[in-house]
Structures are given as C-alpha cells and as structure tokens.
Amino acid sequence: MPAVTSAGTPEDVVDLVRQAPLSFLGRVVRLGGTLPPGVAADERTAVVQVGEVLHAPDAFRRLAGSEVTVRLTPELDVPAVGDTAAFFVNGAEYGEGLAVAEVGRLPADSVQEHVTRAATTADAMPFSSVQRGIRDERTADHAGEADAVVLGTVVALEDVPDEAGPLSEHSPDLWRAQIAVEHVESGEVAGARTAVLYPNSRDIHWSRIPKPQAGQRGLWFLHAAEPALRDVAPFQLLDADDYQPARMLAVLQERR
C-alpha cells in the first residue's frame, strides 16, 4: 500500500487513519534536527511544527502549536523546510519534546475539506467522521462473523455452576445472561428470550469481553456456544466488540 499519492484521495485518508493513531497538519521547520534528548538525528529526521491535530488519542489532542520530531519514512521524498503537509505517524518517545515515526504523508490541501467540515459540525476533530466510518465498517464485518445479531435488553443474570466446565486453563467464571429480544437482525434465535454465556472474570484473558449488566439494552453479536456448553446456553460472547449501542443497528441496516 503506498504511503501517499501525488494528490491524495479519500481512500488514501481512510487507509492512513487505519494505520496511524495520530495525524496532524504541520510545517517543516528544520531538517536533520531533533528535540528529545537521545533521539538520533539524520537526513531523515525533521522537526515539524503542528498546526492542527487531525486525529489522535486523548493524550495528544493538544499538540497544536508544539514542535515534534518526525522520523521520515524511507518510502517518501524528504520534504523541504517550509513545506506543509498532513503527517500520519505512530510511536512516541518523550523527553523535552515528542518524537514519532512517519507512516505516511498527504498534501495539506487533500485534507482541507475535513478541516472545513469539522469547523462547522459537532465533530471533535477533522478526521472524526473518517474514524466513525472505519468503526462502522468494522462493526458490519463483525456482524458477518457472528452466528446471530439481536437487539435486546438484559433481564436476568446468573452464575453458571462449575460443572459447566471452563473454556480454557484460565477460569472464566462463567455467567449466563437472559436477553429479551426485540429484533433479530441476523441468524436464528428461538423465542422472545435467549440465554448468552459470558466470562465474568477480570483475568487478562477475559477482561475485554463484554460483561452484561441488568437492564442493559443494545446490539448483541452472538456466537454459537461450544458443544460442551450448549445445554447451558445456545450462545456466548467471545469478542470485545460483541456488544454495541442500539444505534448501531441502523448502521448495519444501511450497510446491507
């Protein structure tokens, strides 16, 4: 996948946002320079002044106005001092400044429509809509991997006796949620309620899998229970994305 094109297209933006956790519009102020002590400078090291952050984790949303050291990717030409571009980067080293590694770069004017749109909407950052689209696409793909997708509310929770058996050598502390089903988006679900197993353990092996709460309403991505557990419940939760807000039903339906 190319790191950049001569003009930059919507597909370039989406691909680079997928690859990089941080992007910003920035102006090259120095080549061969560095800010954090201990970061080696060479012909592919640039100090860039951040003009506007395009997307970022919370800790990096206030970089505008600061200077960062960018290790330039060997796949692209070295920019000139004074050039402005959209830099897509990952990794970080702290010291008296911030150092990052370039993933890709786009011309500044290729992302201007995102900057303009964000200024007139409720989006927190210029690439917020791009990130939503990526999340929506991932959710739609995940729905295709599930055995059933239902909209419903948790109406009961109960511990599962040990004789149901663990799912691995790490005890999952299995619980069973009863979900009152309002709508079946895909798959086969018998009756107005369905039982779903989930690991209530906070062990690192299970911590990311959703833990249903009484009264919780949303979209549930269900997987057929392992054969040894099917007498306990027909389905189980296996993935961090197996629960989504109810509004995501409309996203799935739009993407059919």
Cα 54 from Cα 22, distance rounded (Å): 8
10-123: which CATH topology?
A: OB fold (Dihydrolipoamide Acetyltransferase, E2P) (2.40.50)
126 band by pLDDT with thresholds 50, 70 and 90: very high
> Boundaries of CATH 2.40.50.120 in the chain?
138-254
pLDDT digits (tens, 9 = 90+) for 60-88: 999 999 999 999 999 999 999 999 999 99
Please tell me whether the overall predicted TM-score, pTM, comes out greater than 0.85 for this model.
no
CATH architecture for the domain at 138-254: Beta Barrel (2.40)
pLDDT digits (tens, 9 = 90+) for 209-247: 999 999 999 999 999 999 999 999 999 999 999 999 999
**Residues 150-162: what's their mean pLDDT?**
94
51 band by pLDDT with thresholds 50, 70 and 90: very high
Cα 179 from Cα 156, distance rounded (Å): 7
pLDDT at 156 over 50: yes
E-strand ranges in the chain read 22-31, 45-55, 67-71, 84-94, 98-107, 148-159, 174-186, 193-199, 217-224, 235-236, 243-244
pLDDT of residue 3: 58
